[in-house]
Amino acid sequence: MQHELIRIFQKPSDYKVCRECRAINWYENEECQCCGAKQYLIDDSDADNVEDWDDYDTGNFDDSEEAVRKWCEIEYEYWIKEEGYTEEEADNVFITV
């Protein structure tokens, strides 16, 4: 699935950033679309082990709006400074999520 960069920027709550490879992902993805990292650090079969719950809750994704906005800033900077796009052109870049 692909979304325009402006859509990601305008609705950060619909996305999350992979902690393994820093790729942006759609909020429903259980695996990273880029590196394949799993949503949770443990399997559901291990969920009964109380010691693992901290890792189970944090997982491999950062779904905070701050993380998504930071990802967007870096992406915009790349397209504008490195590729010479205008801000409007960068808005319309399609990103795999």
Half-sphere exposure of 85 (CA within 13 A, CB side): 16
> pTM score, two decimals?
0.80
Read off the pLDDT of residues 33-67 as tens digits, 9 standing for 90 and up.
999 999 876 555 555 555 555 555 558 999 999 99
User: Residue 34 in contact with residue 22, Cβ under 8 Å?
Assistant: no
Structure token digits, residue 83: 């590729």
Domains of the chain: total = 1
Which range of residues forms the domain containing residue 19? 2-96
Q: Break the chain down into helix, strand, coil percent, rounded to 5.
A: 45, 20, 35
Q: Which of 72, 91, 90 is nearest to 82 (CA)?
A: 90
pLDDT (tens digit, 9 = 90+) per residue, 42-51?
Answer: 555 555 555 5
